[in-house]
Amino acid sequence: MLVAVDFTGQRRPLTRTAALARNAALASAALAEGHDGLESSEPNPAGSAAVNLDASLEEFRELVISAGARIAGEVIQRRPKADPATLIGSGKVQELAGIASSARAEVILFDHDLTPTQLRNLDDALPCRVVDRTQLILDIFASHARTREGQLQVELAQLEYMLPRLTGRGSAMSQLGGGIGTRGPGETQLETDRRRIQRRLQHLRQEIEGVRRIRTQQRQRRESVPVPAVALVGYTNAGKSTLFNAMTDAGVLESARMFATLDPKLKAIVLPSRRKVLLSDTVGFIRNLPHTLVTSFRATLEEVQKAEVLVHVRDAASPMQDEHKAEVEKVLGELDVLSKPRIEVLNKIDLLPPAEREALEAADAPAVSARLGWGVDKVLARIDCALVADPIVEQRFSIPQSQGSVLAALGAGALIRHREFIGNTVSMTVAGPASLLGRYRQYRIDSKSAHAQT
């Protein structure tokens, strides 16, 4: 059973896409009534709320399906503000209890974060278990965690969520300790559980800190060889893993379900300039991403923080793409990476009408269909231009033909602009990474001829 609440006293501003849809609907209605539509330019708060609520509810349905649940019914309430005791008010709680019983629901899922008090009161009043939005997302993460690192981070987030929501029966569960100095009223089971969770949290933080140290060591070894890192970021289900596969042939899991990719993937790719970069596929973001997840997944999200370039993958076919972009930038701001070079990629253009697709392809941002392989070369070229480290330079060399290993290295790692055989030497003009060409500076004809590519 799904429960969504629209707080009419806390309306959010209309997104650009929703505003265009609203204006088109108003214009159509005005033409049908014989008006010019100019008098209907004032915002319609009810229409704005309907658009936001529908999009939010559709996203929540996808979350529920990703968790493996079957939806038995939906309850939507509109109220000025949240009830501090139950979120939805005592009357609605009674109504919800009857609906859940008749539908034989096993779990009631709220598309909101519930306070410990609200969760406890709803658990007492409703005939089945109550789960809020954060707990649902944590359950999805737990089911998709495959590596030891991912499992540790999910368990840490779950325990941090659970700790303030523990409930007990006070002195009825009091236990006396044994030994000197332990006599008295004893401690409750609730206090015992809290202490156990605190110990487990401390242990998990130590293990995750060990994971961070290992990742740092691996990153330092990678940085000893100048290979820049590029990270794919974006809203969940925007097609990051599909684009990752299209660029790397890595064969990682592609799924329409949310948070199908949880553990980061790294793969080396070669750009058109012959430079090598490490491409990483990271966990997707979502509206109201629980802060405990951001902090718990710090070790994983460090791949984003250490990347030289971020590739923001957006779903061009989503009516809420502007709102999704804002949510992604919000999380990137929490990670303090908004100042990094960022490339926006509009994915899923194969789902758009031909006219919209052609308009996007003519725009500045790369428009791609990762599923069909359209436009992937544009993304690689844009990454090539955005990289600052290890720039592309063009230099002239004169290399003896006997130095086959040097000729092979330049042919494999750089672009040969011109090549001429003069006696026993090869004269060539080469464009390639400065780090590669610098290894063979002794064969360079004129150091003044070297210049950076723009």
In a domain, 199, yes or no: no
374 is a domain residue: yes
Q: Is residue 55 part of a domain?
A: yes
Residue 266, domain extent: 226-386
Q: Is the pLDDT of residue 64 over 70?
A: yes
CATH number at residue 426: 3.30.70.240
What span, in angstroms and rounded, lies between the C-alpha atoms of 385 and 380?
9
Dump pLDDT digits (tens) for 289-303: 776 677 666 656 777
> What pTM, to 2 d.p., does this model score?
0.71
How crowded is the C-beta side of 403, counted as CA atoms within 13 Å? 16
Burial level of 418, CB count in 10 A (0-12/13-18/19+)? exposed
| Domain match, 234 and 380 both | yes
Q: Do 367 and 277 fall within a single domain?
A: yes
pLDDT bracket for residue 167 (50, 70, 90)? low
In a domain, 204, yes or no: no
Q: Do 233 and 370 share a structural domain? A: yes
Domain-located, residue 164? no
Average pLDDT, the chain: 80
**Quick one: 256 and 356 in the same domain?**
yes
Q: How many domains does the chain have?
A: 3
Question: Do 124 and 248 fall within a single domain?
Answer: no
Question: Looking at the domain assignment, is residue 25 inside a domain?
Answer: yes
pLDDT score of 348? 94
Verify that 254 and 120 share a domain, yes or no.
no
Q: Around Cβ 87, how many Cβ atoms within 10 Å?
A: 25
CATH code at position 356:
3.40.50.300
- The dihedral built from the CA positions of residue 290, 295, 297 and 302, taken in this order, carries a sign that is positive
Question: Do the domain assignments include residue 192?
Answer: no
**414 and 273, same structural domain?**
no
Radius of gyration of the chain (CA): 28
CA–CA gap between residue 130 and residue 106 (Å, rounded): 9
Q: What is the pLDDT of residue 368?
A: 93
Alpha-carbon distance values, 379 to 108, 210, 269, 344 (Å)? 43, 35, 12, 9
- Spatial neighbors of 382 by CB under 8 A, at least 6 apart, are 343, 366
399/378 same-domain check:
no
Reported as a single tens digit per residue, the pLDDT across 66-122 is 888 899 999 999 999 999 999 999 999 999 999 999 999 999 999 998 998 999 999
Clarify whether residues 346 and 330 are in a common domain: yes
**Count of residues making up the chain:** 454
Once rounded to an integer, what is the mean pLDDT over residues 230-244? Answer: 89
| Whether residue 230 is found in the same domain as residue 340 | yes
End of a domain among 131, 160, 189? 131
Whether residue 177 has pLDDT greater than 70: no
Q: Given 116, 131, 146, which residue is the final one in a domain?
A: 131
Is 82 a domain residue? yes
Q: Within this chain, do residues 297 and 397 fall inside the same structural domain, yes or no? A: no
- Residue ending a domain, choose from 81, 108, 131: 131
250/359 same-domain check:
yes
Dihedrals phi, psi of 34, to nearest 5 degrees: 85, 15
